[in-house]
Structure 1
Amino acid sequence: MQEKKPETATKNPKKANLLDHHSIKHILDESVSEIVTSRGYVEDVRMSNIRLVMGTIIIIIALLAQFYKKKFPENRNFLIGCIVLYIVFNGLLQLIIYTKEKNAILFTYPPAGSFTSTGLVVSSKLPRFSDMYTLSIASADPKSISANQPVQFTKSVTQWFTKDGVLVEGLFWKDVEALVEEYAREPKKSK
């Protein structure tokens, strides 16, 4: 089943500053998310919610330390406790980002009506001072029996952008959809 890309994409072309690698990566990552979700995958926002809750806790700790009723010599132990909690929660947040997210731009649930029980983790890399964009698709639960082998491609971003910095969405959609189909394909069973 082939999904059509949205009509709005042709009316408002996505334009990037070709001298800014973050701008290029942002537009490509945003497009990848659109493509994968248009293929029936629903975004799993649990990891984002965990990060938001952790960030909120960190901000509350900082605000408590800043606006505590007593002045410095009297609130010394409270401040030390807040500093320790601040460091612990920041460390946990960084650990989650480093171990779980890595370069992930999208986590998904399995598509509705699918036989697989795992969603996708879509990751991308665009190293600084390089034009080579790497897109990877893997299972959200690689140890699951229904997890397929991870797939990836590495291509130059110059083939997807015009000299004015406009993303040629048709070419990019074709490459990303081919990668999603390659991941979703049933692995050949050996006899």
Structure 2
Amino acid sequence: MASTKNPKKANLLDHNSIKHILDESVNEIVTSKGYPEDVRMSNIRLLIGMIIIAVALLAQFYKKKFPENKNFLIGCIVLYIVFNGILQMIIYMKEKNAILFTYPPTGAFNTTGLVVTSKLPRFSDMYTLIIGSADPQSISAKPPVEFTKTVTQWFTKDGVLVEGLFWKDVEGLINEYAKEAKKSK
């Protein structure tokens, strides 16, 4: 179980702070249950971001001045737009609200990892956590499981996360997903 040496504290007036603390804790809980994190998508996003920065720097510090480098600048602008479009497409189509992608646990018969998704709408205290298969088209994919609960049950009035309660709820959802996996075989 998580240590209480450094309690996680959120600003209760800022829903982004609350969601960040909860998402960070979910990542810790899922990875501690034997699901190694899959960072391939993050690495692809970082690579595309570095390409975008390189194109911008190239356009900024090109040796020739404006009238002479007009075609070069147009090419850089087109590349910048194309790579930004690819990056946005990856975020919109593949990641959506995902906070964690995992590989299958070592030694498991399942060939697909998990995708963990969370939602905390603005001006709402209802936190939704969804655990599903990272590859829904896979033959070993199982139906997703989810819960929606109020965040007020996991935080003290000072904004400190009661990790034991949250851990229990997330662990229960992971176990429910594992049971779904066994049921559907």
Normalised TM-score (structure 2): 0.97
Aligned to 1:123: 117
- Distance (whole Å) between structure 2 residues aligned to residue 13 and residue 71 of structure 1: 55
SS at structure 2 position matched to 1:98: helix
Q: Say whether the 8 Å CA contact 1:138–1:150 is kept in structure 2.
A: yes
Q: Which amino acid aligns with 1:63?
A: L
What is the TM-score of this pair, normalised by structure 1? 0.94
> 1:65 is matched with which residue?
59
Aligned equivalent of 2:183, options 179, 188, 191: 188
User: Displacement of 1:187 after TM fit?
Assistant: 4.7
Offset at residue 184 of structure 1 (A) = 1.0
- The answer for the alignment partner of 1:178 in structure 2 is 172
| Pair 1:46-2:40 in alignment | yes
Q: How does 1:27-106 map to 2 (within 5 A)?
A: 27-106=21-100
Q: Deviations over 1:52-89 (max 9, x none)?
A: 00000000000000000000000000000000000000
Q: Which amino acid letter does the alignment assign opposite residue 15 of structure 1? A: K
Q: Secondary structure at the match of 1:106?
A: strand
Are residues 189 and 177 of structure 1, via their aligned partners in 2, closer, same or farther at CA, if it must alter by over 3 Å?
A: closer
Moved more, 142-151 or 96-105: 142-151
Letter in 2 for 1:154: T
Question: Does 1:135 pair with 2:129?
Answer: yes
Structure 1 alignment gaps of length 5 or more: none
Rate the CA distance shift 1:68–1:189 in 2: closer, same or farther, 3 A: closer
User: Structure 1 vs Structure 2: percent identity of aligned residues?
Assistant: 80
Structure 2 Cα separation of the partners of residues 43 and 142 of structure 1 = 18
SS at match of 1:15: coil
Deviations 1:141-177, CA, capped at 9 Å, x for gaps: 1111111110000000000000000000000000000
Q: How many residues align?
A: 184
Cα distance between partner residues in 2 of 1:28 and 1:176? 10
Q: How far did 1:188 drift?
A: 3.1
* Residues 148 and 187 in structure 1, CA contact (< 8 A), matched pair in contact too: no
| CA positional deviation for 1:29 | 0.1
- The two structures, once aligned, show a CA RMSD in angstroms of 1.1
| Deviation beyond 4 Å, 4+ runs, structure 1 | none
Aligned twin of 1:147: 141
Alpha-carbon distance in structure 1 between the residues aligned to 2:69 and 2:139: 54
Amino acid at match of 1:174: K
In 2, distance between residues paired with 1:181 and 1:105?
19
Per the TM alignment, residue 189 of structure 1 is displaced from its structure 2 partner at its CA by 5.2
